[in-house]
Amino acid sequence: MKTSDIRGIIPPVITPMNNDPEQTVNHEALRQQVERLLAGGVHGMFPLGTNGEAYALSFKEKEEVLATVIDQVKGRVPIYAGTGCITTAETIRMSRRAEEMGADALSIITPSFALASQKELYDHYVAVAKQVNIPIILYNIPPRTGNKLLPETVQALCRDVDVIVGAKDSSGDTENLKAYIRLTRELDKDVAIFAGKDDAILTCLKEGGVGGIAGRANIWPATVVKIYDCFKAGDLEGAQAAQDAIAILQQTYKYGNPHTIIKTAVALQGHNIGKCRAPFNYVPEEGLEAIKKVLAENAAKGLN
């Protein structure tokens, strides 16, 4: 897969769960969600991300989810498999397995829980990269992992390692995202930088990034795709309108963590995707009403 093909709107696919005591994965609903996203025009598929609750899945479940997505997509768009784990050894194991199964690229989140130095993060990614032969997208989300991948470290990794070809920044810090783009632009190599925060997709594109790995594309795939498509067509007004349309969900994030809110919104749209795995799945009644209001407002505008 060429770096020039790494672009656009790539949803971190939610993992539907059954309503049984173990909250087992609902693979039929996963297939339906994949088809819904493809119908919305997405440019790739990212199973096993944060919105896919990879943190709550066993190794075997991750294999099964990835297998289902690969089988359902059937080569229509690239598959970016989330393979980051806490340890280097486990990340290598998951990354090699994803490559064996047919993933086109890997998205590797930083290790979590224990604080890592920039040297440790650099060494971690280099060690993983030596074990695979498909592109790696670095994934920075310090609010969740506790570890920040600094722009200088991203630049060094993209410079020094052939298969590391980009990064997703979910820090929420626009200046950090801009620094990723600015420093990697200096390299003698194409580098793909994605916005990981949905409200920064258009900013990312304007600064020279390649798109967004967007959780809200699970709710409104066609609308999120419109941000990218309008921008590439030179329709900045249309791109901004689409960006503004998805921004209203932000007001509901105070009622739960973002992936719980997103999964709840998809369920409220009538899709059989269940709840997030406990205990990360509570939304109070006032939160449900707030999400319903946002969905109704965008539905009235014909957004999907």
Distance (Å, rounded) from C-alpha 165 to C-alpha 118? 18
C-beta atoms surrounding 66 within 10 Å: 23
Which residue among 62, 168, 178, 263 is the active-site one? Answer: 168
23-30 LR contacts (CB < 8 Å, sep 24+): 23/274, 23/275, 23/277, 23/278, 25/57, 25/61, 25/64, 25/65, 26/272, 26/273, 26/274, 27/64, 27/65, 27/68, 29/271, 29/272, 29/273, 29/274, 30/65, 30/68, 30/69, 30/72
Buried b (16+ CB within 10 A) or exposed e, 132-155: bebbbbbbbbbebbebbbbbebbb
Report the candidate in 230, 178, 184 with the shortest Cα–Cα distance to residue 207: 178
Task: Confirm whether 226 is a catalytic residue.
Answer: no
Give the tokens for residue 144.
């969740």
Task: Confirm whether 168 is a catalytic residue.
Answer: yes
Give the tokens for residue 71.
């089988």
Strand spans (E) along the chain: 8-9, 80-82, 105-109, 136-140, 164-169, 192-195, 211-212
Which residue among 122, 139, 180, 255 is the active-site one? Answer: 139
Chain position carrying tokens 């791109």: 239
* Angle between helical axes of 236-247 and 221-232 (0-180°, round to 10): 150
The SS3 assignment for 75 reads coil
Active site residues: 139, 168
